[in-house]
Chain A
């Protein structure tokens, strides 16, 4: 559905020289090229939800903007639903929906309803479809409560929900979400995720999601791509990523008698919790030893009141990935 090959985007920036009269000399300084995106290739199939991750300034937004047709690539090829976005902009516009968490696409001074009606007419949505989808939005996003408020007076959460409604009203086969959950409260985040899931399941909508919220990724995405410095760092399955970059699991043990806490140990796993804690954390490599084995070895030696297994946090995995030390 989305194909990009060897995508490059170069920006120009004026170099500011050091030393005396640097401001004056910078008037005549040459401009230097900066590659925001440097040779990125990707392919996303119909119906996939892909998480697009990377630290600030990694080139996520620039990539998304090339895929949506906002930016013209310096080099490389893009095709979305069979259309080259920047060349056939209007045809592409009918195929895609875009939500930028930072910047609204709605008509700022008018009530939300007017924006949605405009979208309906611009994208030739039939009256019946419009009614159905609006009632769905009302169910999932509680849109009805602020439809008649001017966009400029909406809270951030309401605005994003409005933007999401506007981007999906015409049921585009491809949906780009650029940090849609930034600054949202838990309720709004859940509503947003529900809508995305239902669009994906019912309409086979392809979704590309950039976010810093790892809960978003874990709950929505089957596959992730991680970029940094304009280059693809990792691309693949979420489970694979965890296996590769966090090859351990944690066993959390609460001993029945607290005096045991400092003595609990197993030859099969390493103790990582600090001495004196009521709960003991034992870390093991699932490739070498299975969870039941570790549990058995602990519970055969000590009396245990509670025991649980923790998967590695995606947050930690990604931090290690960005840091470049797998």
Chain B
């Protein structure tokens, strides 16, 4: 079964790459546009940091590390899982029919419906920002810490992917998920760049348990910067950040497949 799924994955990726290369102009446009959007986000952080200097007791270079981790995690999500945002369209046009008729997991077919070449731009920019941020922050690097850093980035990407997957699954029952997408995008986009201790009580709990933004970048950043006292929960939990992503993602994919049973194919 695993072998056949791998074959399927290879076939699907080959197809999506071929599709993508059909539209070269589109590709160039989205590469430039993506870079512009990233630059805007950096500007936003930059403006806040130059005006306020420090946020929640974290210096500008410390916040930049947080931002770097967050961008790297986002790049992981964007490169591998970005297409989950297409789910509402796939469901409402009936393209999902095709996914159900092929001997390949539906979720895999969704992810590979287009190859995310333009997200390569995200990866380069995120790597650059993280690289600069790591150099400027004072971190006592050990092998274990480096491993933790890398695993956290992947885990963070999976957390964002799992949130988007669950919201994608809502499209099987809701006719319109625009507001849900907008809310999640603006929550993740805006607030995961802040050191969450500034929120205090209620909002911190919200971001730790309800929408676990805390583990996308804030908790790993606190570990790397030796600031786990700011977390408001035991450092052991922060250390286990890399495990949360895969667990949440597995849950999300299960929810996705369960919800897909409510799919009501258009035109029936």
Which residues of A come within 8 Å of B, CB atoms? 11, 36, 61-62, 65, 68-72, 86, 89-91, 93-94, 96, 98, 100, 102-103, 105, 107, 109-110, 114, 118, 121-124, 150
Contacts and interface: CB of A to CB of B under 8 A. Distances in A.
B101 A68 contact: yes
Contacts of B8: 121-122
Interface stretch (B77-85, B157-165, B258-266): B258-266
A70 B100 contact: yes
Given A121-B7, A122-B11, A124-B4, A61 B268 contact: yes
Contacts of B7: 121-122, 124
A110 B15 contact: yes
Contact of A71 (B11, B18, B98, B268): B268
B176 to A, nearest CB: 13
Contacts of B94: 103
B261 A72 contact: yes
Nearest to A106: B98
B200 interface: no
B150 interface: no
A121 B106 CA distance: 17
B201 interface: no
**For A68, A94, A103, which residue has the most chain B Cβ atoms within 10 angstroms?**
A103
Given A69-B100, A70-B101, 4 more contacts: A65-B265, A89-B106, A103-B267, A109-B23
12 contacts: A65-B97, A89-B100, A93-B102, A103-B267, A107-B19, A110-B15, A110-B22, A121-B8, A122-B8, A122-B103, A123-B103, A124-B7
B105 interface: yes
A11 B265 CA distance: 11
B104 interface: yes
Contact of A65 (B4, B15, B262, B268): B268
A114 B264 contact: no
Nearest to B266: A103
Interface residues of B, number: 29
Q: Is the interface of B mostly helix, strand, loop or mixed?
A: helix
A226 to B, nearest CB: 18
Nearest to A119: B102
Contacts of B262: 72
Contacts of A121: 7-8, 10-11
Interface of B: 4, 7-8, 10-12, 14-15, 18-19, 22-23, 94, 97-98, 100-106, 261-265, 267-268
Question: Which of B23, B101, B261 has its CB near the most chain A CB atoms (within 10 A)?
Answer: B101
A86 B149 CA distance: 42
B103 A62 contact: no
A122 B102 contact: yes
A90 B257 CA distance: 13
B87 to A, nearest CB: 16
Contacts of A89: 100, 106
A102 B267 contact: yes
A86 B22 CA distance: 34
A69 B102 contact: no
A11 B175 CA distance: 13
Contacts of A109: 19, 22-23
A107 B102 CA distance: 13
A69 B101 contact: yes
Contact of B268 (A36, A72, A86, A123): A36
A150 B10 CA distance: 21
A110 B19 contact: yes
Nearest to A107: B15
Given A102-B267, A121-B7, A114 B101 contact: no
A65 B268 CA distance: 8
Contacts of A11: 264
Contacts of B263: 70-72
A222 B94 CA distance: 32
B255 to A, nearest CB: 16
A94 B103 contact: yes
A11 to B, nearest CB: 6
Nearest to A63: B268
Given A100-B97, A118-B15, A71 B103 contact: no
A150 B15 CA distance: 13
Contacts of B11: 118, 121-122
A90 B104 contact: yes
B107 to A, nearest CB: 12
